[in-house]
Structure 1
Amino acid sequence: MKETYNLDKLSDRMKLSPVFAFPAAKGNLTLSDIVKPDDTVRFDNDNFIRIVIKKDSVFDLRLKDFYNFSDIASLDRGYILGEVMFSDFHGSKSITLDAISLFFSSALRATFLSLDDGNPHDFPSFPSTNTGEHSFGPFAGFENALLSSGMLKIKVKNNLTAPLNDIKVHVYNSPDHSEVTPEVTIPSLLPGESDSIPVNIAGRIIRNNMLVSVVFTGSPGASNVIVDMDQTVDVSLQGYDLEAVSGRLIVPEQILGSPSGKDTIDLDPGTDIEIESGKILTGSLAFTAISGTPLATTIKITLPETSRSGSPVQENIIIPPLQTVNGSVSLNNTTADFSTDIHKPYNRLPVNYEIKVSSGGNLVNFSSLDEVQLKLSMPDPDIDYLKGYFGQKIEEIEKDTIFTELDDVLKKITGSFHIADPSIKLNYSNSFGIPVGITFEANGKRESTAVNLDLAPFTIDYPAFPVRDITSSFRIDKTNSKLADLVSLPPTEVAFSGSGKLNPSTPPGTRNNYVFGNSRFIASLEIEVPLELWINNLQFADTVDNFLKSDEGDDDSPLKPENMEYFRLKITASNGFPLGASLKVILYDSLAASNLDTINAPDIIKPALVDASGKVTAAVESETIIDFDKDFFSKSEQADKMIFVFTLITSGGGNKNVKFYSDYKLNFRANLLVKPNLIF
């Protein structure tokens, strides 16, 4: 027996293969430990979980955003004054027998002179005698006038003691000798008798000085009468019912029959808008009155279809000659009816007006073409309400596309899931008394699969007068759309468009819309996702660098992956969640594009049992052993990548909806058994 040993021949490397067993993890987890209630996560009274996202003031629209009533009403009229009345005039002339006899023969005149002794005689007859032209005037109240109407009464009275044959009278202006009347004939007159003839002088020019030609066609004489050379024949002129087209005259105060009358203030609220009635809280009717006449003018305007404190709005606008006046009429707390015109029962406010003129006792140069201009407007009224039809205005939501940026994530996911009942709710307060139809279209797309929202057009609730404001909401969910399918796709892009239309099914002429001065549409958005869903073999794969592979220069390490005899993980769980999970770990050689080895751990956690409503009724026990053997660790040296594949499935095989409550529990324990080959 050899009693000596050469220790130099012993290996300087040592190998140990111990077995280690120790608990790796232990826990008791409830869903409320993972998810805490806040503004986004809500727990119902029964602990059912909802995810709620709110966005305030997604819409805040006021009356001015839709309509411009800043200068809603206007009237711009020029009123031609037309003819004016002026005062009557009167003049008379007495022609003595002595003056008449001057146109007799010398012998006949001498006879008449001899009989003027105060005793009765036979009154000699005399032939036709032209006594020439006799001056009348000046008449008061005018210098000249072109008449649109008027009468001139010519009267003759015989104060002689003998009858007179017909008397011919012809009237002229002085000094131009233009004709005022044609020659007229006064029938024969007995002593003391008078007669007159009215002559229409419309269209004639008259002056305040006139000449009257008088021709006596003779006298048959008389017996046993006094012959007095101072006896007279009286001729008189009377102008009456005079209206002037133009001239220089004194215009007494008068209300013009025309253009006084009725007019209309037109409303221009916008295309296809028909306003029937309304009330103004504060505002005014602004006016500008421009005089183009030398007459002092007063325009009295009345709005008969308005009411302020029980009476219609009235105003007297006083305009000095040839001046401009600006002012306003208060419309505070005034109601108005714009529908009284049977031919156009909307957008029209009647105006009664009365125009009064006067020259103030002064002679002025007047023309019937003189004009007074009146401009009315209603600047920026503060409206209480307006009733009518406010058109079918359409506001388009421009076509657009939202890209969800989920492409990279979805490339790593296979399988399917479905959220049972997500919803989008529009909560709003609306004080526009107008129906609004909303059309909204959305189409979600993921690769070759597309889902259309299929939401039918809907109408926003609105107040019905006398109610002025309502609070309501509209909810988009699975009952009226395919929102659940669209969200569960999930889409990588969503194309959308839409429109809002006023009075979508209300034709013009149906004037029962209301808007108010403080009309406002305020809306918030609430997106709600109740945690009720199903998941069917939803796999998520993630590729990472192989962290088991030894780094270069680690040859002296006593623990290398390829020296691992085995690595065993035992997981025991009591799962009260309606969700199960499996795991695959794949060693992958990216250069060869091949899987080198796979560790498959199905049903690490089995989903809990649920009832017909999807609520968990009992937890499910599971035990899983995951073995990482020596072959796996050996091949890990050849793999540069590791792929982890997680698979999720809900209770019932992933074919029915399950619900998540905050009191769901998961109890688990993990034990680790490791046998490494430690080489020193």
Structure 2
Amino acid sequence: MLLACSIVLAGCVKEQITNFGGIKLTPTLALPLGKVKVVLENVLNDQDSLLTINPDNSLAIKYRRDSVVFLKFSDLVANIAGNWSAAVVHDEAIGKVTLDPVTQQAGITLGEVMSGFSDASVAATIQMADGGMAPIPPFSGSSTTLSQVPAPASFSEIQIDTMQMVVDITNGFPFDIQNLMIELVDQESGQTIAFPPLAALAGQSSSTTFELTNLVLHNNLAFRIAQIESPGTGLTPVPIDLTDQLQVTLSMQEILVTGGVAVIPPVTTSGETTFDLQTGSDARIEEVTLGNNQALYTITSTLPFPIELQFALPSATIGGTPVQQTLQIPAQGQVSQSLDLSGAVLNLAQDPAQPYNRIPVTFQLMTMPPAGMSAFNANDGITIELEIPQVEITSARGYFGQVEEQIDPDEISFDFDFSFIDESSSPIFFDDATLEFEYENSFGFPFEADIDLTAHGRNGQSAALNAPTITFDYPPVTQAGTAVQGTIVLDDTNSDIVQMLSIYPTKFTYSGSGRLNPQGDQGQVNYVLPDSYLLMSVAFDLPLRLRAQK
């Protein structure tokens, strides 16, 4: 047996230890890391490997336990991404619609012009010469006669934002026309539109183009001659025929409207929006891989005709394929569905203005109007409601923010009661006791922990370990997928382990806190992978070199 090995006691009073029967040593490690239990009597009597002879022939109790902590990605994901969500509500109006061009032709005869002409003598001269030859004197005047314009079949009422009006005239009268002023009359509203002056030689044509803005126009239209002048024919007689016509062609082009009742051509509208990842902290995430996630969306249309909607998440891929969806939305209808995003990789750093936490959304809206007229308004459109209520991740990269978690208080019984030491004896100190934690860490972020460990002795005393903050090394993102190793040693130089053991502890109580990124954003990329882990082993060394208090 090893009882011959000496136990050195430092101090003036030496305590003699002769009875090892029934001694129980129960160091309890509070991270929580599990419980170690050593029965010293068995160690000594059965030559258990826990009893070690040091090079100086002193005795030590050494215990090692591997894998006392095995922290997986799933154990930490709630702390990192437990509050992540994303949602957006986006309104997209159809906006102004460009209608197909409209061309209408109308005419007014010389007899119609003269029947309402303001200069009765000129009108009588021309009317009396009908069917014969006569010179035309110079004249100037207007006519009240309205000439109906055929109703356009493509609209009954339009609210014009802008429109180009092209007016062509062909002068079928036997005299030249100058300073011709034509007025277009909306017979529904009574509104008149004055055209710029025109001129045309006898038998010739001319045209003018002008823009109309902010105008309501109905399809019940007519025109009249508001002003007409002619130099006449001098002494030269010309054939007079009251059925000769002034032809007027109205071409409405580039008709941009904000509403009305009209034949709406198919319209394609493209747009984009973003919805931001809500992290509940200062986290700035650049990329995530989603777990079992569903995006919920509702599309509501106020358009009076069906539409086809294609929307996509251009920064999201599943198996390398961009995420997109095509929907058919009925007239003034609503569609609610879900989009499976399981396994999607989201790049959240594509917006230069905010290269984190941002998910772009693009969409294309294609109207499917009926063949006939439809009432519409530029403010009609769709509302897109898109939500990921709980973001479940399998990996992430970026800055996870400063996250602090509390370790709930707990108690662990300690069966080592130091009964081999008489209660009346002075406290005994284990000068060289150490506690070592060996870890292997593949999580890619800074992490530290403060453990408040207090021992409670058999005489009602208590003593704190007062351990330093424990900081774990981690592999940088350039070494993602690897692990780093480290060792944390607690001894009498960085803790009060000697004083804690001197009260002959029978149990421990503990609490504490842990912090991600304790120094804030240091410009280094945080990351986690599906197989990230923290593996920790513990080694306890209690040399049987004791010091009794004087």
Q: Which band: TM-score by shorter chain?
A: 0.7 to 0.9
**Contact 1:52 / 1:528 at 8 angstroms: preserved in 2?**
yes
For 1:188, give the aligned amino acid: A
Distance 2:488 2:301 in 1: 63
Name the structure 1 match of 2:523: 510
For 1:198, give the aligned amino acid: T
Distance 2:380 2:47 in 1: 83
Name the structure 1 match of 2:472: 460
Out of 184, 204, 226, the position equivalent to 2:195 is: 184
1:236 aligns with 2:246: no
**CA positional deviation for 1:462:** 3.2
| Partner SS, residue 213 of structure 2 | coil
| Partner SS, residue 501 of structure 2 | helix
Out of 496, 502, 512, the position equivalent to 1:498 is: 512
- Counting only pairs closer than 5 Å after superposition, residues 460-609 of structure 1 correspond to structure 2 as 460-465=472-477, 466-468=479-481, 470=483, 472=485, 474-478=487-491, 480-491=494-505, 497-505=511-519, 507-508=520-521, 510=523, 512-517=525-530, 519-521=532-534, 526=538, 528-534=540-546
- Relative to structure 1, the CA distance from residue 502 to residue 295 in structure 2 (aligned partners, 3 Å threshold; closer, same or farther) is same
For 1:534, give the aligned amino acid: L
Distance 1:517 1:205 in 2: 63
Name the structure 2 match of 1:265: 275
Distance 1:442 1:70 in 2: 30
Distance 1:535 1:511 in 2: 48
TM-score by structure 2 length? 0.77
For 2:195, give the aligned amino acid: V
Out of 70, 75, 79, the position equivalent to 2:88 is: 75
Identity among equivalent pairs (%): 22
- Counting only pairs closer than 5 Å after superposition, residues 274-285 of structure 1 correspond to structure 2 as 274-280=284-290, 283-285=293-295
- Relative to structure 1, the CA distance from residue 255 to residue 33 in structure 2 (aligned partners, 3 Å threshold; closer, same or farther) is closer
1:142 aligns with 2:152: no
- Counting only pairs closer than 5 Å after superposition, residues 292-311 of structure 1 correspond to structure 2 as 292-307=302-317
**CA positional deviation for 1:416:** 4.7
| Partner SS, residue 176 of structure 1 | coil
Name the structure 2 match of 1:290: 300
**CA positional deviation for 1:34:** 4.8
Alignment root-mean-square deviation, CA = 3.9
**Contact 1:283 / 1:332 at 8 angstroms: preserved in 2?**
yes
**CA positional deviation for 1:267:** 0.6
- Counting only pairs closer than 5 Å after superposition, residues 196-215 of structure 1 correspond to structure 2 as 196-215=207-226
For 2:161, give the aligned amino acid: S
Q: Which moved more, 1:244-253 or 1:40-49?
A: 40-49
- Relative to structure 1, the CA distance from residue 172 to residue 425 in structure 2 (aligned partners, 3 Å threshold; closer, same or farther) is farther
1:432 aligns with 2:443: yes
Name the structure 2 match of 1:620: none
Out of 323, 327, 343, the position equivalent to 2:333 is: 323
| Partner SS, residue 91 of structure 1 | strand
Distance 2:152 2:100 in 1: 10
Distance 1:149 1:33 in 2: 99
For 2:228, give the aligned amino acid: T
RCO higher in 1 or 2 (8 Å CA, sep ≥ 6)? 2
Distance 1:537 1:67 in 2: 49
Out of 71, 93, 98, the position equivalent to 1:85 is: 98
Distance 1:229 1:130 in 2: 15
Structure 2: give runs of 5+ residues left out of the alignment: 1-40
- Relative to structure 1, the CA distance from residue 326 to residue 44 in structure 2 (aligned partners, 3 Å threshold; closer, same or farther) is farther
Q: Which moved more, 1:134-143 or 1:455-464?
A: 455-464
| Partner SS, residue 143 of structure 2 | strand
Deviations 1:597-620 (A, max 9, x none): xxxxxxxxxxxxxxxxxxxxxxxx
Name the structure 2 match of 1:656: none
**Contact 2:475 / 2:484 at 8 angstroms: preserved in 1?**
no
Name the structure 2 match of 1:632: none
| Partner SS, residue 498 of structure 1 | strand
Distance 1:199 1:351 in 2: 41
| Partner SS, residue 386 of structure 1 | strand
**CA positional deviation for 1:409:** 8.5
For 2:176, give the aligned amino acid: P
1:253 aligns with 2:266: yes
For 2:465, give the aligned amino acid: L
| Partner SS, residue 349 of structure 1 | strand
Distance 1:142 1:308 in 2: 47
1:194 aligns with 2:218: no
1:351 aligns with 2:365: no
Name the structure 2 match of 1:100: 113
- Relative to structure 1, the CA distance from residue 162 to residue 482 in structure 2 (aligned partners, 3 Å threshold; closer, same or farther) is same
Distance 2:410 2:370 in 1: 74
Distance 2:321 2:437 in 1: 46
**Contact 2:178 / 2:230 at 8 angstroms: preserved in 1?**
yes
**CA positional deviation for 1:472:** 4.6
| Partner SS, residue 199 of structure 2 | coil
Distance 2:200 2:183 in 1: 18
